[in-house]
């Protein structure tokens, strides 16, 4: 089936004083299919949140296309964007900051119905009550204020607010990172259930490999503004190809009994500044297996197996290392 959302060659450079730029997103292409969860994972500063904000049109891309149901929204005006915006809803990390403290929970959740002219009056109240129950809140909590809810309940409110306009796409940026570990699982499982029940397409942005593994059908790994590996969840987690993905996974504690412990790969140095990303493969300054070509040429996302692709010269199908290993 055609993707619900496709991002093509997305670039975002933020200008700084002195004529230099933060290269936040450096040529990202991905698609989200109907009813699928795509996990977008990487360390802070890798550009994953910027990708989400570009899709939400909170920033304009420097280059590239954002295609929603066949329409490129990258250059759309605010007015033309409004019906599209209904289709793409967001859940942010911080449910405290995104809920107006002076509005009742019911008014907050029902507000998008007013903004989009979908419902008012009793019809609106009925729809708010319905979505409260859908996210595991009680309809009689509609008259309470945000501070009367726990952190997990507040995130349920922001999920309800996103769902009430019946969107096709949800962008969830670190939706559980601000929550207690003890309640993260219940919010994650709620998202998974709603995603299935409503056939939502979900872009799940997170730095947490185990959470991403739990929720995603496919996973894209970002490093310094680029996707370095992408593929079906099980393929990527059981057979990571990019040295960066391998290092990230090696740091994840193995929870399943009997599962083989991965040898911990500790990367040298820090993530370089996105103002001056290293030439060639952005990862070469930290890569344990870098060779000369890595400093000269950026690797393409090469097919590993089916839809599993990795951007590494030494993992390319015709690479010397891949040949000798075969
Ligand atoms: Fe490492 Fe080179 Fe592969 Fe980049 S292209 S990940 S530097 S081996
Ligand atoms: Mg972020």
Contact 67, 8 (CB under 8 A): yes
Contact 134, 160 (CB under 8 A): yes
Helix axes 105-115, 151-163, angle to 10 degrees: 20
Q: Residue 163: CB within 6 Å of ligand 1? A: no
Q: Whose CA is nearest to atom 8 of ligand 1?
A: 290
Q: Whose CA is nearest to atom 6 of ligand 1?
A: 312
Task: ipTM value, please give it.
Answer: 0.97
Mutate to test the pocket of ligand 1, among 293, 299, 316 (most ligand atoms within 8 A of CB): 299
The structural domain count of the chain equals 1
Ligand 2 centroid–CA 205 distance in Å is: 8
Dihedral (C-alpha) 138, 143, 146, 152: value to the nearest 10 degrees?
0
Q: Residue 313: CB within 6 Å of ligand 1? A: yes
Beta bridge partners of 6: 31, 67
Q: What is the average pLDDT across 35-54?
A: 96
Question: CB 74: neighbour CB atoms within 10 A?
Answer: 18
Question: CB 189: neighbour CB atoms within 10 A?
Answer: 12
Q: Whose CA is nearest to atom 5 of ligand 1?
A: 312
CA–CA distance, 163 with 91 (Å, rounded to integer): 10
φ/ψ bin of 280: left (φ > 0), alpha (ψ from -120 to 50), beta (otherwise): left
Q: What is the average pLDDT across 259-278?
A: 86
- Interior/surface letters 14-36, b for 16+ CB within 10 angstroms, e for the rest: eeeeeeeebbbbbebebbbbebb
Ligand 1 centroid–CA 292 distance in Å is: 10
Confidence (pTM): 0.94
The pLDDT score that the predictor gives to residue 79 is 85
Q: How confident is the model at residue 256 (pLDDT cuts 50, 70, 90)?
A: low
Q: How confident is the model at residue 319 (pLDDT cuts 50, 70, 90)?
A: low
E strand or H helix that includes residue 38: strand 37-41
| Residues of the domain holding 207 | 5-325
Strand 201-206, strand 169-173: pairing: parallel
Q: Is the pLDDT of residue 289 over 70?
A: yes
User: What CATH number has the domain bearing residue 18?
Assistant: 3.40.50.300
Q: Residue 92: CB within 6 Å of ligand 1? A: no
E strand or H helix that includes residue 49: helix 48-55
Beta strands per DSSP E along 50-140 = 63-68, 71-72, 88-91
Q: Residue 280: CB within 6 Å of ligand 1? A: no
Q: Residue 294: CB within 6 Å of ligand 1? A: yes
Q: Residue 6: CB within 6 Å of ligand 1? A: no
Q: Residue 223: CB within 6 Å of ligand 1? A: no
Contact 116, 110 (CB under 8 A): no
Q: In ligand 1, which atom is closest to the CA atom of 295?
A: 7
Helix axes 105-115, 121-134, angle to 10 degrees: 120
Q: Whose CA is nearest to atom 3 of ligand 1?
A: 312
Task: Give 145's Cβ-side CA count (13 Å radius).
Answer: 5
Taking only the tens place, the pLDDT of each residue in 59-117 is 999 999 999 988 999 988 888 888 898 999 999 887 667 789 999 999 999 999 999 99
Q: Residue 240: CB within 6 Å of ligand 1? A: no
Dihedral (C-alpha) 278, 282, 283, 285: value to the nearest 10 degrees?
-10
Mean model confidence pLDDT for the chain: 92
Q: Residue 312: CB within 6 Å of ligand 1? A: yes
């Amino acid at each position: 089936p055609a993707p619900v959302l496709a991002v093509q060659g997305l670039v975002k450079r933020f200008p700084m004083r002195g004529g230099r730029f933060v290269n936040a997103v450096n040529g990202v292409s991905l698609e989200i299919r109907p009813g699928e969860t795509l996990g977008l994972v990487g360390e802070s500063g890798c550009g994953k949140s910027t990708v989400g904000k570009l899709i939400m049109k909170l920033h304009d891309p420097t280059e590239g296309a954002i295609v929603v149901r066949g329409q490129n929204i990258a250059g759309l005006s605010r007015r033309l964007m409004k019906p599209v915006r209904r289709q793409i809803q967001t859940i942010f990390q911080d449910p405290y900051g995104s809920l107006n403290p002076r509005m009742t929970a019911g008014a907050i959740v029902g507000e998008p119905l007013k903004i989009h002219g979908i419902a008012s009056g009793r019809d609106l109240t009925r729809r708010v009550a319905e979505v409260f129950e859908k996210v595991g809140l009680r309809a009689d909590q509609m008259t309470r204020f945000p501070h009367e809810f726990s952190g997990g309940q507040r995130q349920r409110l922001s999920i309800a607010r996103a769902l009430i306009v019946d969107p096709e796409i949800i962008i969830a940026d670190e939706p559980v990172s601000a929550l207690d570990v003890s309640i993260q699982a219940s919010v994650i499982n709620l998202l998974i259930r709603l995603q299935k029940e409503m056939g939502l397409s979900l872009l799940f942005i997170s730095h947490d490999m185990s959470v991403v593994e739990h929720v995603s059908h496919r996973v894209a790994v970002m490093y310094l503004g680029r996707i370095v590996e992408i593929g079906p969840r099980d393929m990527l987690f059981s057979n990571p190809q990019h040295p960066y993905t391998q290092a990230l996974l090696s740091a994840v504690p193995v929870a399943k009994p009997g599962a083989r412990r991965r040898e911990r790969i500790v990367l040298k140095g820090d993530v370089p500044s996105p103002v001056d990303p290293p030439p060639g493969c952005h990862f070469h300054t930290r890569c344990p297996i870098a060779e000369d070509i890595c400093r000269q040429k950026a690797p393409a996302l090469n097919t590993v197996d089916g839809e599993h692709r990795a951007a590494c010269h030494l993992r390319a199908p015709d690479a010397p290392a891949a040949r000798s290993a075969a």
